[in-house]
């Protein structure tokens, strides 16, 4: 087995929210909230998720551009392999505990590439000097040697040695990203963190850069943490993937297994949102409605339950899943008083006649994808009662009627990690119980 | 309007810019048409002239330095010869634009509702109250929850996807017959992209619009297009029905664009080389310098004439022309699920059986 280069344990990054005269802390945006993963030597781990799920914050906390709030980042590169934990439980390779000298050394071993190549170069510094600056900072004072190293690297990323004295504006986006790669490689690092390195590029250039990354990884024996929102890009470069949602990793596993056998509903939804280059396939699949909720006040239980298409029904209930999702959405919207009966009325009135109450009821049901009658008599009664209250204008009582009757286990309990296959884990309540039955191959 | 007449007909459209380094020909004699209810996609790499071509239709590029020639017939009227005052009646009312970056297309200093009603009141003679009601209705139709209370919010209070929805609402104020969407999903996340594509699909049906969609992403094209126009360096390389082009891409450029997609067995590498200098395009086929099948005949004269290789599918390539041998570039059976040749072992591995 190869050695683990990087292991991240329970990493958290919370941004305090301050208010008032004394700048008191009133809350925190929990951008990254307890993530753990390992990267082996020579391996590429993908980190995938929507905007706002904390991928980039995770990257900058791992590489220590930002001080993590809690957790460990153990980096075994730079010849520090084989270290073991000290008796007091701390690890000598924990980046969060490094002093200045160790940090300088760590910066040599771990590099980063950013999304937008145009804004990550100084327009007034030639690209050769931009790449060579890192060598200078790390103590190589010989100008000619610096130049030789940089020229060699520029050639290895597919540019020419003559480009040393040219300026960033003379290069296209794809070429600039090649220079960014050269800059990341110049100190011969063990780990590169690539934060959406191809999102700003054209499809044809994307493919070029991805294959270059693959080649260089083999040539230099690099480990990569590759961040992207695009599952199809992840598939091209990664060995393993971690799927992130609202500061947490919901599923992690080998890339092929995640693609062929996704376990977490969020992974399924992400996969089905990739545009299929097959004109016969209809636009369809699972639609993720809305956006990621605010990390200042994440949903209770499983954080995905507010958007999940497979949200669990309470024991003894068995209605159409779409109705159930619709009912939950309806409950949430009424709870925050966002169902505007007047607006619904206006919408119907727009098509002619004055709307009757039953038309309004039907319209609200249609809006939330709830069928005309819900398959459970008791629930149907509750829903009708709430609709009546809503039409009478008493949305507060409608809200409490709904929230008393409609509850899901997903909102109450936080899911544990379930192991599906070696190295393939997910956190979803639907799989709990099944884990106990199966032997746990990861525990050895 | 006669039934057989296309909604929009572009013929020999040429757009040049005078720059310090001489004349830059961004679009060089391009033809295409859009029918009512149809989605036509213009595909190509950055810099191939897609955006300039669509912006030339309603003359929203500055002239000078730009210079637009050719004919653009919209419902039989030649837009390029219309006076500016009449053109303004068409822009926004009948032909609407959506742009790539919703952040930049909105004014941060005004509320979203104000910006929609402004567009509305420019084109229609409505009172403030009516305009507000209509704007709220439009915001509701493009899927902004709680539209009436979000009316007075500022753009920064909306997410990227919501901003794009607002842009779409703004484009719909005049009940347009033609919607020009210039990479409307490129700046968005994949999940949001799926939402916006679905929305455009629904709205097209509801408003019975023709849609001219510009993108570099063939995955998006496959989802929404009826017909495709492949552009490269200001010229049309290939055109045809979406199914024909995905099944039998004729032009080497189209083939290579498709091979960039991992689902087509592409293992990366992309298309070697870059676009030619638009100040001084190469002789012959514009793609010849990057084409693996290029011969001497490809490098002389003009861009080859478009040859019909199948009903409705036309290719501009020497190998399909008189004296050419189409079998050199013919790629039968290139398509998803048929990844012959280029599979490198990581494409179809079943779940581990344990």
Domains and CATH numbers, chain A: 4-117+188-272 (3.40.50.300), 321-407 (no CATH)
- pLDDT-derived band at A193 (thresholds 50, 70, 90) equals very high
- Nearest CB among A210, A230, A290 relative to B190 is that of A230
CATH of the domain at B148: 3.40.50.300
Q: Domain tally for chain B?
A: 2
Is B202 domain-assigned?
Answer: yes
ipTM over 0.85: no
Is B148 domain-assigned?
Answer: yes
Same domain, B299 and B212: no
Specify the pLDDT at position A282. 60
**Is B335 part of the contact surface with chain A (CB cutoff 8 Å)?**
yes
- pLDDT-derived band at A336 (thresholds 50, 70, 90) equals confident
Is B2 domain-assigned?
Answer: no
Weakest mean pLDDT among A107-121, A200-214, A345-359, B5-19? A345-359
Cβ–Cβ gap A232/B246 under 8 Å: no
Is B120 domain-assigned?
Answer: yes
d(CA A289, CA B285): 46
Same domain, B303 and B193: no
CA angle A155, A157, A161 (to 5 degrees): 25
Which A residues, 19 through 78, put their C-beta within 8 Å of a C-beta on chain B? 50-51
- pLDDT-derived band at A132 (thresholds 50, 70, 90) equals very high
Same domain, B130 and B64: yes
d(CA B289, CA B279): 16
Cβ–Cβ gap A283/B197 under 8 Å: yes
Cβ–Cβ gap B242/A230 under 8 Å: no
d(CA B166, CA B139): 7
Q: In chain A, whose CA is at the least distance from the CA of B271?
A: A204
Cβ–Cβ gap A288/B201 under 8 Å: no
Same domain, B130 and B257: no
Return the exposure string of B172-194: e unless at least 16 CB atoms fall within 10 Å of the residue's CB, then b. bbbebbbbbbbbbbbbbbbbbbb
Specify the pLDDT at position B141. 81
Q: Does a cis peptide bond (omega within 30 degrees of 0) precede residue B8?
A: no
Span B81-131, pLDDT tens digits: 888 888 888 888 889 998 888 888 888 899 999 999 988 888 888 888 888
Same domain, B59 and B187: yes
Q: Are strands B95-98 and A424-427 parallel, antiparallel or unpaired?
A: unpaired
Spatial CA neighbour of B63 closest among B94, B27, B106, B17: B17
Is B59 domain-assigned?
Answer: yes
Weakest mean pLDDT among A407-411, B290-294, B350-354? B350-354
Is B349 domain-assigned?
Answer: no
**Is A227 part of the contact surface with chain B (CB cutoff 8 Å)?**
no
CA angle B147, B152, B158 (to 5 degrees): 70
Q: Is A190 helix (H, G, I), strand (E, B) or coil?
A: coil
| B267 half-sphere exposure, CB direction, 13 A CA radius | 11
d(CA B307, CA B251): 11
d(CA A14, CA A32): 7
Same domain, B174 and B293: no
Specify the pLDDT at position A145. 93
**Is A179 part of the contact surface with chain B (CB cutoff 8 Å)?**
no
Tokens of A272: 């089905």
Give the mutation candidate from B163, B252, B352 for the A interface (greatest A CB count, under 10 A).
Answer: B352
Query: Is the distance from CB of B293 to CB of B329 less than 8 angstroms?
Result: yes
Same domain, B32 and B160: yes
Specify the pLDDT at position A283. 55
Span B196-254, pLDDT tens digits: 888 888 888 888 899 999 988 888 888 888 999 999 988 899 999 988 888 888 888 88
Which B residues, 31 through 50, put their C-beta within 8 Å of a C-beta on chain A? 45-46
Q: Torsions phi, psi of A372, nearest 5?
A: -60, -40
Paired with A17 in beta bridges are A27
Length of chain B: 354
Is B49 domain-assigned?
Answer: yes
Same domain, B49 and B96: yes
- Nearest CB among A229, A256, A290 relative to B346 is that of A256
Domain extent, residue B313, equals 251-273+281-328
Cβ–Cβ gap B268/A236 under 8 Å: yes
Spatial CA neighbour of B235 closest among B303, B298, B183: B303
> Can you say whether residue A419 is alpha, beta or left, with left for phi > 0 and alpha for psi between -120 and 50 degrees?
beta
Query: Is the distance from CB of B246 to CB of A277 less than 8 angstroms?
Result: yes
Same domain, B189 and B58: yes
Query: Is the distance from CB of B244 to CB of B310 less than 8 angstroms?
Result: yes
Same domain, B125 and B268: no
Tokens of B60: 């929203």
Span A422-438, pLDDT tens digits: 888 888 888 876 644 44
**Is A204 part of the contact surface with chain B (CB cutoff 8 Å)?**
yes
Which A residues, 249 through 268, put their C-beta within 8 Å of a C-beta on chain B? 256-257, 260-261
Specify the pLDDT at position B343. 36
Same domain, B13 and B127: yes
Cβ–Cβ gap A343/B136 under 8 Å: yes
Residue with more model confidence, A86 or A37: A37
Work out the percent of chain B whose per-residue pLDDT is above 90: 10
| B114 half-sphere exposure, CB direction, 13 A CA radius | 10
Q: Is A439 helix (H, G, I), strand (E, B) or coil?
A: coil
Cβ–Cβ gap B261/A211 under 8 Å: no
Is B145 domain-assigned?
Answer: yes
- C-alpha distance from A50 to closest chain B C-alpha (Å): 6
Specify the pLDDT at position B137. 85
Give the mutation candidate from A203, A267, A292, A344 for the B interface (greatest B CB count, under 10 A).
Answer: A203
Same domain, B73 and B209: yes
d(CA B209, CA B200): 10
Span B266-321, pLDDT tens digits: 555 677 777 888 888 888 888 888 888 888 888 887 888 888 888 888 888 888 87
Specify the pLDDT at position A240. 93
- pLDDT-derived band at B337 (thresholds 50, 70, 90) equals very low
């Amino acid at each position: 087995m190869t050695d683990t280069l990087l292991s991240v344990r329970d990493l958290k990054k919370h941004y305090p929210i301050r208010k008032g005269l004394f700048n008191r802390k009133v809350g925190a945006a929990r951008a990254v909230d307890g993530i753990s993963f390992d990267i082996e030597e020579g391996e590429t781990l993908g980190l995938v998720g929507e905007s706002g799920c904390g991928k980039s914050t995770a990257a900058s906390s791992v590489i220590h551009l930002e001080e993590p709030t809690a957790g460990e980042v153990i980096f075994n590169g730079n010849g520090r392999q084989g270290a073991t934990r000290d008796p007091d439980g701390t690890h000598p390779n924990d980046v969060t505990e490094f002093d200045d000298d160790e940090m300088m050394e760590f910066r040599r071993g771990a590099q980063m590439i950013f999304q937008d190549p145009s804004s990550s170069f100084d327009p007034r510094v030639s690209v050769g000097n931009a790449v060579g600056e890192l060598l200078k900072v790390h103590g190589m004072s010989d100008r000619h040697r610096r130049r030789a190293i940089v020229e060699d690297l520029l050639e290895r990323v597919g540019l020419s040695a003559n480009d040393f004295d040219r300026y960033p504006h003379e290069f296209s986006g794809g070429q600039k990203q090649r220079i960014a790669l050269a800059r990341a490689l110049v100190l011969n690092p063990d780990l590169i963190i690539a934060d959406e390195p191809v999102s700003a590029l054209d499809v044809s250039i994307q493919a070029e850069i991805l294959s270059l990354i693959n080649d260089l990884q083999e040539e230099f024996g690099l480990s990569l943490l590759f961040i992207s929102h695009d599952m199809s890009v992840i598939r091209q470069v990664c060995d393993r993937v971690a799927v992130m949602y609202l500061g947490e990793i919901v599923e992690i596993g080998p890339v092929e297994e995640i693609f062929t056998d996704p376990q977490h509903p969020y992974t399924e939804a992400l996969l089905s949102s990739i545009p299929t280059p097959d004109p016969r396939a209809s636009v369809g699949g699972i639609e993720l409605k809305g956006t990621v909720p605010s990390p200042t006040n994440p949903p209770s239980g499983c954080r995905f339950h507010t958007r999940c298409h497979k949200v669990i029904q309470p024991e003894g209930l068995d209605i159409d899943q779409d109705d159930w999702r619709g009912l939950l959405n309806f409950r949430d919207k009424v709870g925050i008083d966002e169902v505007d009966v007047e607006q619904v009325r206006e919408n119907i009135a727009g098509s002619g006649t004055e709307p009757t109450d039953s038309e309004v009821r039907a319209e609200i049901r249609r809006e939330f994808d709830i069928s005309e009658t819900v398959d459970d008599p008791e629930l149907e009664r509750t829903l009708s009662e709430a609709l009546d209250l809503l039409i009478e204008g008493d949305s507060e009582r409608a809200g409490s009627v709904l929230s008393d009757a409609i509850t899901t286990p997903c909102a109450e309990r936080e899911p544990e990690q379930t192991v599906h296959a070696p190295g393939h884990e997910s956190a979803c309540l639907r799989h709990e119980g099944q884990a106990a039955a199966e032997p746990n191959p990861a525990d050895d | 309007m006669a039934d057989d007449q296309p909604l929009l007909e572009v013929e020999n459209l040429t757009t040049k810019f005078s720059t310090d380094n001489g004349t830059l020909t961004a679009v060089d004699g391009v033809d295409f048409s859009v029918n009512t209810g149809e989605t036509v996609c213009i595909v190509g790499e950055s810099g191939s002239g897609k955006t300039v071509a669509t912006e030339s239709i309603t003359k929203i590029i500055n002239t000078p330095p730009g210079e637009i020639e050719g004919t653009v017939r919209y419902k039989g009227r030649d837009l390029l010869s219309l006076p500016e005052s009449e053109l303004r009646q068409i822009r926004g009312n009948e032909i609407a634009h959506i742009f790539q970056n919703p952040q930049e297309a909105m004014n941060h200093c005004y509320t979203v509702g104000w910006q929609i009603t402004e567009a509305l009141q420019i084109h229609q003679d409505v009172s403030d109250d009516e305009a507000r009601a209509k704007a709220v209705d439009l915001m509701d139709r493009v899927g902004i929850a709680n539209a009436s209370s979000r009316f007075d919010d500022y753009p920064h209070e909306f997410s990227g996807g919501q901003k794009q929805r607002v842009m779409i609402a703004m484009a719909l104020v005049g009940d347009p017959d033609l919607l020009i969407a210039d990479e409307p999903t490129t700046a968005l996340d994949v999940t949001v992209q799926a939402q916006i594509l679905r929305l455009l699909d629904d709205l097209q049906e509801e408003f019975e619009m023709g849609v001219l969609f510009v993108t570099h992403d063939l995955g998006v094209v496959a989802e929404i297009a009826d017909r495709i126009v492949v552009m490269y360096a200001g010229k049309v390389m290939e055109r045809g029905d979406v199914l024909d082009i995905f099944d039998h891409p004729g032009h080497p450029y189209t083939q290579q664009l498709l091979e960039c997609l991992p689902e087509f067995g592409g293992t990366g590498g992309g298309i070697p080389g870059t676009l030619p200098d638009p100040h001084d395009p190469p002789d012959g086929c514009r793609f010849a310098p990057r084409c693996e099948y290029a011969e001497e005949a490809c490098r002389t004269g003009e861009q080859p004439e478009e040859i019909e290789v199948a009903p409705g599918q036309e290719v501009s390539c020497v190998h399909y022309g008189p004296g050419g041998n189409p079998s050199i570039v013919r790629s039968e059976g290139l398509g998803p699920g048929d990844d012959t040749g280029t599979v490198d072992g990581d494409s179809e591995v079943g779940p581990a059986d344990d």
